[in-house]
């Protein structure tokens, strides 16, 4: 939990520095914001590893846990990567591109989740038939 607060503190400090820098040199502030975002993402490597371990532990209780875990990790990966890319686009002042990134992520999530949705629909049809 302490690591979380350190990351939040670093994020706020970076935001203040970017805001200060933006007043003097806008392009440099954009570059700083992107670099700070990447550094903060790298700081999440260990917490992400721990989260994956928790999910693996949960998946070990289910007979089809590995397949479900793999799907969940792919979905989370797409979500996190798209959010990071969209925010980087917004930091650069490209809101339109950020919206397209978010839309493409939603489409990708539907494609990735399609097998699970088919399985769920089959179960529902079995129960109602």
Q: What is the pLDDT of residues 81-121, one digit of tens each?
A: 899 899 888 887 889 999 999 999 999 999 999 988 888 88
Sketch the domain layout of the chain as residue ranges: 1-43, 49-129
Longest dimension (CA), the chain: 68
- The predicted pLDDT at position 112 comes to 92
**pTM value > 0.85:** no
CB atoms within 10 A of CB 17: 14
Tell me whether residue 98 is exposed, middle or buried, using C-beta atoms within 10 angstroms of its C-beta: 0 to 12, 13 to 18, 19 or more.
buried
Q: What is the pLDDT of residues 1-16, one digit of tens each?
A: 777 888 888 888 888 8
Lowest model confidence (mean pLDDT) among 23-37, 49-63, 75-89, 110-124: 49-63
User: Does residue 63 carry a pLDDT above 80?
Assistant: no
């Amino acid at each position: 939990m302490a690591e979380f607060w350190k990351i939040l503190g670093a994020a706020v400090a970076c935001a203040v520095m970017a805001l200060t820098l933006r007043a003097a040199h806008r392009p440099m502030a954009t570059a700083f914001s992107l670099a700070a975002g990447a550094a903060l993402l790298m700081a999440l490597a260990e917490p992400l590893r721990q989260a994956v371990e928790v999910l693996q532990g949960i998946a070990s209780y289910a007979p089809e846990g590995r397949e479900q875990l793999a799907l969940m990790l792919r979905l989370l990966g797409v979500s996190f990567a798209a959010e990071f890319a969209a925010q980087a686009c917004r930091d650069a002042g490209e809101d339109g591109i950020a919206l397209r990134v978010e839309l493409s992520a939603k489409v990708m999530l539907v494609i990735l989740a399609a097998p699970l949705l088919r399985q769920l629909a089959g179960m529902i049809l079995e129960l109602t038939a």
